[in-house]
């Protein structure tokens, strides 16, 4: 299906609040109605474990599950004819991770929609890895039924030219637990919207992120957690490093606690490590609380330079400076990486981080 | 037989009001097997001396020399100094989040010895060194100095010294913050390395109690950025009784 041009949404200009950090001139036209977007299912499952089915469905039969205000997501919703649907059966205990791999090898702008449906009391880990170079927009909606437990890991291991704009939206029902890891180490421009809403009490979300930007990269993560029901919990912890004078990162942490969301427990954290003088990390935590009855709500954001005392300490034990830096950076990220509990993925990420470090002399 | 030779060392730090001289001409020679105690009032520059020898970037050497067996230490990078055989047990060991003690020790030992320790013997070597210092083996899996108590940090410093086997060690207030038993255990550790390696020691301290375990050959009084008096062990006792008043006003 080619994209209808009859939509009445506004094309972002870059002056709007949600777009003010994004270099629209580098977004490959994903926001621009005059640029045609190709509708393509690009995720390839490797082994599909028992209890999981992956099908391609008609988009009309699988309409979006959530409200959306993002212009690129609107274009995706209007532009796709098919949806990749990942279904985790009720009560399924899927021990092996579900690996989905996407490799894009040409720069024709393309879009994709995915729905993940986790059945009641099901357990599963989903790993999506993105590599290659392309111009790509996607929406992934995850619907967690009551009592389910989903770990959702996305790896942005793109090449240096890739443009990736995406919304990952989780809808979390009563007593369901959602854990997400966003790892963004590649791409020219990456703009991800990890968003969460709750539909029942006892629901919980832990959102972890790791990004490493080097020269020429703009890596933007806009977390949005909407506490609209009582008794839900959220934890957000994103860590980033920037190496190179034109490295750029943006982290937005919107946590909204609505009047109905009594007993909410939330904490969000973003830490950035600047390895070069010219690198710039924007970090904007934003907590809005409309109820007086909360368990806890807090946020913290720090952006700092490399700690010379740590380097000196390691070097004073004979460790050469390059290796000392590598240890400190690995240490900085290990808090997040070690929670992945997937050895092969952990090693791959750490190796990539070593590589990113090696690209520019600090 | 090794010799650390410090001659006419002058060192400044950069402050908001400009450069401030801390060390004002330090002369000191330490040979293998010798213990030199350095005692002096707070702020007299003892840690500055220790850090300057180790190569901390905060300190600027304005004149003088430091050599180890004739090699110019001041020309060496920080890691090269460690590889040359210098070790600094720090007054305030640094926390390194996310880096485990075992990974740190292995990386350091690999760098200093020039080859990775044999897997088969390494684990035993670390275990033995830890148990000799009464350190719980669980420390190996903790992050470097993170959440360690003051005394645990000091034991960890001496653990590193045991594994790195330096020629000359500078112990900057290693005894501060140690309880009575820990003081004995840590001192025994230092003496072990001294025996095995014929280690030369610069022992910076405020108290004579550690000198009961680690017997000094020389005691130096440090005040106003230089050594103002030298003597034998009896000088330490005199300092403990009289304090530094006569040196500070001098
Ligand atoms: N950045 C700085 N700005 C100003 N003064 C400094 C700076 N760094 C060090 N100093 C000063 O240098 C002096 C020497 O400090 P140093 O730590 O070497 O003393 P010390 O003899 O080890 O003292 P202590 O017994 O308390 O450990 C102190 O007066 C200290 O305040
Ligand atoms: Mg001191």
| Residue pLDDT, tens place only, A287-338 | 999 998 999 999 999 999 888 999 999 999 999 999 999 999 999 999 999 9
Atom 22, ligand 1: residue with shortest CA distance:
B47
Place A24 in a pLDDT band, splitting at 50, 70 and 90. very high
How many angstroms separate the CA atoms of B108 and B161, rounded?
11
Angle at A158 between CA A153 and CA A160, to 5 degrees: 150
Does the pLDDT of residue A2 top 50, yes or no?
Answer: no
pLDDT at A329: 93
- In B69-185 the beta strands, taken as DSSP E runs, fall at 71-72, 86-89, 96-100, 143-144, 168-172
CB neighbours of B219 closer than 8 A, spacing ≥ 6?
A: B36, B37, B39, B230, B231, B232, B233, B235, B236, B239
Angle at A83 between CA A79 and CA A89, to 5 degrees: 160
3-state DSSP call for residue A326?
A: helix
pLDDT at A359: 65
- CB-based contact B147:B181 (threshold 8 Å): no
- In chain A the beta strands, taken as DSSP E runs, fall at 38-39, 44-45, 52-58, 82-88, 98-104, 110-118, 123-132, 135-144, 149-156, 163-172, 177-184, 189-198, 204-214, 218-227, 233-243, 248-257, 264-274, 280-289, 294-305
State the Rg of chain B over Cα.
18
3-state DSSP call for residue A285?
A: strand
| Residue pLDDT, tens place only, B164-180 | 999 999 999 999 989 99
pTM: 0.88
**Chain A residues touching residue B97 (CB < 8 angstroms):** 331-332, 335
How many angstroms separate the CA atoms of B175 and A211, rounded?
42
Exposed/middle/buried for B45, CB within 10 Å: 0-12, 13-18, 19+?
buried
| Residue pLDDT, tens place only, A149-206 | 999 999 999 999 999 999 999 999 999 999 999 999 999 999 999 999 999 999 999 9
How many angstroms separate the CA atoms of B227 and A229, rounded?
70
Residue A136: alpha-carbon gap to chain centroid: 14
- CB-based contact A133:A107 (threshold 8 Å): yes
Q: Nearest Cβ partner of A315 from B78, B95, B143?
A: B78
Euclidean distance between the first and the last CA atom of chain B, given in angstroms as a whole number: 37
- CB-based contact A218:A190 (threshold 8 Å): yes
Atom 7, ligand 1: residue with shortest CA distance:
B13
> Which residues numbered 265-324 in A keep a CB inside 8 Å of some CB on B?
308-310, 312-321, 323-324
- CB-based contact A118:A146 (threshold 8 Å): no
3-state DSSP call for residue A336?
A: helix
Ligand 1: lining residues by beta carbon, under 6 Å: B 13, 15, 20, 22, 40, 42-48, 91
How many angstroms separate the CA atoms of B250 and B245, rounded?
8
Mean pLDDT of B182-209: 95
A42: region left, alpha or beta (phi > 0 left; psi from -120 to 50 alpha): alpha
pLDDT at B248: 81
pLDDT at A7: 46
pLDDT at A354: 85
3-state DSSP call for residue A50?
A: coil
The CA-atom distances, in angstroms, between A293 and each of A231, A258, A330 are 10, 11, 39
| Phi, psi values for residue A70, rounded to 5° | -85, 130
Bridge-based pairing of strands A82-88 and A52-58 is: antiparallel
Q: Nearest Cβ partner of A320 from B55, B79, B94?
A: B79
CA of B90 to the centre of ligand 2 (A): 9
Whole-number average pLDDT of chain A: 94
B96·A320 Cβ contact <8 A: no
| Phi, psi values for residue A141, rounded to 5° | -110, 135
- What residues does the ion ligand 2 have nearby, CB within 5 Å? B 46-47, 91
CB atoms within 10 A of CB B243: 11
How many angstroms separate the CA atoms of A323 and B106, rounded?
13
B165 part of contact set with chain A, CB < 8 Å: no
3-state DSSP call for residue A293?
A: coil
State the angle between helix axes of A321-337 and A308-315 in degrees (0 to 180), rounded to the nearest 10.
120
How many angstroms separate the CA atoms of B244 and B225, rounded?
14
């Amino acid at each position: 299906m080619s994209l209808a041009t009859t939509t009445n949404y506004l094309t972002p200009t870059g002056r709007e609040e949600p777009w003010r950090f994004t270099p629209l001139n580098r977004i490959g036209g994903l926001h621009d109605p005059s640029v045609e977007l190709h509708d393509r299912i690009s995720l390839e499952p490797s082994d599909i474990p028992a209890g999981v089915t992956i099908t391609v469905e008609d988009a009309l039969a699988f309409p979006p599950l959530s409200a959306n205000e993002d212009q690129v997501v609107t274009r995706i919703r209007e532009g796709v004819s098919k949806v990749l649907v990942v279904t985790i059966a009720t009560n399924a205990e899927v021990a092996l991770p579900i690996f989905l791999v996407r490799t894009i090898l040409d720069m024709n702008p393309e879009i994709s929609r995915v729905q993940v449906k986790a059945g009641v009391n099901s357990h599963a880990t989903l790993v999506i890895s993105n590599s290659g170079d392309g111009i790509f927009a996607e929406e992934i909606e995850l619907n967690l039924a009551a009592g389910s437990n989903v770990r959702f890991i996305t790896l942005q291991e793109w090449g240096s030219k890739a443009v990736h704009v995406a919304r990952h939206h989780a809808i979390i029902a009563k007593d369901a637990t959602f854990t997400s890891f966003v790892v963004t180490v590649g791409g020219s421009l990456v703009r991800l919207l990890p968003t969460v809403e709750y539909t029942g009490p006892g629901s919980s979300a832990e959102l972890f992120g790791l990004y490493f930007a080097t020269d020429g990269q703009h890596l933007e993560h806009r977390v949005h957690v909407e506490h609209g029901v009582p008794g839900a919990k959220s934890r957000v912890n994103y860590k980033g490093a920037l190496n190179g004078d034109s490295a750029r990162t943006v982290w937005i942490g919107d946590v909204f606690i609505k009047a109905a969301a009594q007993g909410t427990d939330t904490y969000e954290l973003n830490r950035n490590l600047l390895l070069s003088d010219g690198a710039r990390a924007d970090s904007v935590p934003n907590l809005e609380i409309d109820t007086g009855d909360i368990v806890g709500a807090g946020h913290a954001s720090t952006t700092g330079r490399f700690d010379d005392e740590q380097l000196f300490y390691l070097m004073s034990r004979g460790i050469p400076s390059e290796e000392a830096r590598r240890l400190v950076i690995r240490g900085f990220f290990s808090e997040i990486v070690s929670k992945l509990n997937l050895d092969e993925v952990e090693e791959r990420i750490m190796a990539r981080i070593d590589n990113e470090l090696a690209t520019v002399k600090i | 037989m090794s010799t650390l030779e410090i001659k006419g060392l002058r060192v400044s730090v950069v402050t908001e009001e400009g450069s401030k001289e801390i060390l004002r001409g330090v002369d000191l020679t330490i040979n293998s097997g010798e213990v030199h105690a350095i005692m002096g009032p707070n702020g007299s520059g003892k840690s500055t001396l220790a850090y300057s020898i180790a190569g901390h970037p905060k300190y600027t050497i304005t004149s003088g020399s430091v050599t180890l067996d004739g090699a110019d230490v001041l020309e060496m990078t920080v890691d090269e100094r460690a590889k040359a055989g210098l070790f600094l047990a720090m007054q305030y060991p640094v926390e390194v989040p996310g880096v485990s003690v075992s990974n740190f020790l292995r990386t350091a030992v690999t760098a200093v010895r020039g080859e990775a320790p044999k897997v088969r013997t390494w684990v035993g070597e670390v275990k033995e060194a830890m148990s000799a210092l009464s350190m719980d083996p669980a420390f190996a899996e903790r992050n470097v100095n993170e959440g360690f108590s003051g005394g645990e940090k000091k034991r960890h410093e001496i653990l590193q010294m045991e594994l790195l086997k330096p020629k000359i060690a500078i112990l900057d207030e290693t005894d501060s913050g140690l309880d009575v038993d820990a003081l004995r255990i840590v001192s025994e550790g230092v003496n072990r390395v001294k025996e095995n390696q014929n280690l030369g020691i610069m022992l910076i301290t405020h108290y004579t109690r550690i000198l009961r375990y680690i017997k000094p050959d020389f005691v130096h009084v440090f005040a106003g950025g230089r050594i103002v008096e030298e003597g034998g062990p009896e000088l330490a006792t005199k300092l403990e009784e009289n304090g530094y008043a006569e040196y500070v006003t001098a």
